[in-house]
């Protein structure tokens, strides 16, 4: 599956190269989440008794196809990062399945495996963390940071380890002689490249990129996105790209899943979602995409959601979004919507998706490409 050609003018100011056709096997899921749940206990009082649960991830289902980039977007606190950490098993999911298609074609439920059984799959699923400053140990040189996984898995030691780490640094755009330096000697963008090199060390198949560019300047964001696209093409990588910025997601994704208070509310191909949103929350997110051209900042209508994001420990009845939705009706308050397919590969959880006339990115107002 090639990334869809984008006929829409870009309006974000990111200087990304023209998108490349990439190989992705559309009918073959590499990873599939089925009704994934992750709850954290709320403890209070002297004896720290459990009085409730935070439903950080609440019945999430989607698949990631081999060779594609699926972006997971939403406001801070909606459960994006928790979902990613469940996939790499930093967290043990409360319920649900994480079906992974192994290289030998065997389907494995990662959610049911203990740490010992998980070990071979940890080599195939790696993570790039959000903060390039706190994700690297300041007391270790780059040789140890990037080479640790190679050493632990018995892949390389000594001179061979140094050679492989130097090669990884060169591949992500850093000089090989930097292997003796410590993280404080690098800029934010260079540290993120080190994080990418660490993720690549074991030749993974799936990489979970958790807000991988959100802490970087716009020009550096573009460089990192270009690097991720090059690596995907070269190594046939599959990405789960977690972000809150739709202007970044637009450039790198094959498909986009929109998350709100622990639930997926819409899932579609990138161009389809930007041009024809079916959920009111997606429409509001698109209206918030920044417009760098001062002449166009007052064009279009910004949709400002009223109220606060629902509390995941005590969510509202019915549709979680109904207290902030300007289209809400009585049914939304009483009945929780189920995700259904409207159009090819376009899923939405909204009672009135067929009836609403929502505005896409162009209708809201965009900026000519810079």
Task: At 152, list the tokens.
Answer: 């632990």
Contacts by 39-47 with C-beta closer than 8 Å and gap 24+?
Answer: 39/94, 42/313
pLDDT of residue 168: 96
Cα distances (Å, whole numbers) of residue 103 to 28, 121, 155, 302, 321: 13, 10, 19, 46, 40
Inter-helix orientation angle 142-152/158-171, to 10°: 120
What the block records as the tokens of 259 is 């998350």
**Model confidence pLDDT, tens digit, residues 236-246:** 999 999 998 88
Instruction: With beta carbons less than 8 A apart as the criterion, state whether 64 and 207 touch.
Output: no
Give the residue among 227, 265, 249 at the shortest CA–CA distance from 79: 265
Instruction: Name which of 191, 204, 237 is nearest 126 in CA terms.
Output: 204
**67 backbone φψ class: left, alpha, beta (φ>0; ψ -120 to 50):** left
| Predicted local confidence at residue 22, as pLDDT | 47
**Distance, CA of 279 to CA of 266 (rounded, Å):** 7
Can you read off the two tokens belonging to residue 24?
A: 């992705």
Distance CA 298, CA 292 (A): 11
pLDDT at residue 132, rounded to an integer:
85
Which pLDDT score, from 0 to 100, does residue 247 have? 82
Residue 200 has a pLDDT of 96
What integer pLDDT is reported at residue 93 of this predicted model?
96
- CA–CA gap between residue 322 and residue 102 (Å, rounded): 40
Q: Choose among 338, 253, 319: nearest CA to 61.
A: 338
pLDDT score, position 23: 45
**What residue spans in the chain does CATH classification 3.40.50.300 cover?**
25-253
Q: What is the pLDDT of residue 300?
A: 58
Give yes or no for a contact between 9 and 50, defined as CB atoms under 8 angstroms apart.
Answer: no
Domain 25-253 part of CATH 3.30.365.10: no
Question: d(Cα 77, Cα 99) in Å, to the nearest integer?
Answer: 25
Q: H or E element: which one contains 277? A: none
- Taking Cα atoms as reference points, which of 20, 59, 5 lies closest to residue 37? 59
Q: Which residues does 330 contact at the CB level (< 8 Å), separation at least 6? A: none
Residues in the chain: 370
Q: What is the pLDDT of residues 168-195, one digit of tens each?
A: 999 999 999 999 999 999 999 999 999 9
Write down the pLDDT at residue 292.
63
The stretches in the chain having pLDDT less than 70 are: 1-27, 291-301, 362-370
């Amino acid at each position: 599956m090639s990334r869809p050609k984008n006929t829409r003018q870009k309006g974000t100011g990111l200087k990304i190269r023209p998108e490349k056709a990439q190989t992705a096997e559309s009918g073959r899921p590499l990873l599939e989440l089925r009704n994934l749940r992750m709850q954290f206990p709320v403890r209070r009082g002297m004896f720290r008794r459990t009085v409730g649960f935070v439903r950080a991830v609440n019945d999430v289902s989607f698949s990631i196809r081999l060779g594609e980039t699926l972006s997971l977007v939403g406001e801070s606190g909606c459960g994006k990062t928790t979902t990613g950490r469940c996939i790499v098993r930093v967290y043990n999911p409360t319920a649900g399945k994480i079906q992974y298609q192994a290289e030998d074609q065997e389907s494995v439920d990662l959610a049911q495996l203990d740490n010992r059984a998980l070990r071979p799959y940890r080599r195939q699923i790696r993570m790039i963390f959000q903060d390039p400053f706190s994700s690297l140990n300041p007391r270790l040189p780059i040789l140890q940071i990037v080479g640790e996984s190679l050493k632990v898995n018995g892949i390389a030691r000594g001179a061979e380890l140094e050679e492989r780490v130097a090669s990884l640094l060169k591949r992500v755009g850093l000089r090989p002689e930097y292997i003796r330096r410590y993280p404080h000697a690098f800029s934010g963008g260079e540290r993120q490249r080190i994080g990418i090199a660490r993720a690549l060390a074991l030749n993974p198949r799936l990489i979970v990129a958790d807000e991988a560019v959100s802490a970087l300047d716009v020009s550096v964001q573009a460089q990192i996105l270009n690097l991720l696209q090059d690596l995907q093409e070269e190594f046939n990588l599959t990405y789960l790209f977690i972000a809150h910025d739709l202007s970044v997601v637009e450039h790198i994704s094959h498909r986009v899943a929109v998350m709100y208070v622990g639930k997926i509310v819409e899932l579609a191909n990138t161009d389809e979602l930007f041009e024809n949103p079916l959920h009111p929350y997606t429409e509001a997110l698109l209206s918030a995409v920044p417009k760098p051209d001062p002449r166009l900042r007052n064009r279009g209508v910004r949709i400002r959601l009223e109220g606060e994001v629902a509390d995941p420990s005590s969510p509202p009845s019915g549709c979680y979004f109904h207290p902030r939705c300007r289209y809400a009706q009585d049914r939304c308050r009483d009945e929780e919507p189920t995700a259904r397919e409207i159009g090819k590969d376009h899923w939405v959880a909204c009672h009135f998706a067929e009836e609403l006339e929502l505005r896409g990115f162009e209708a809201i107002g965009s900026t000519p490409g810079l």
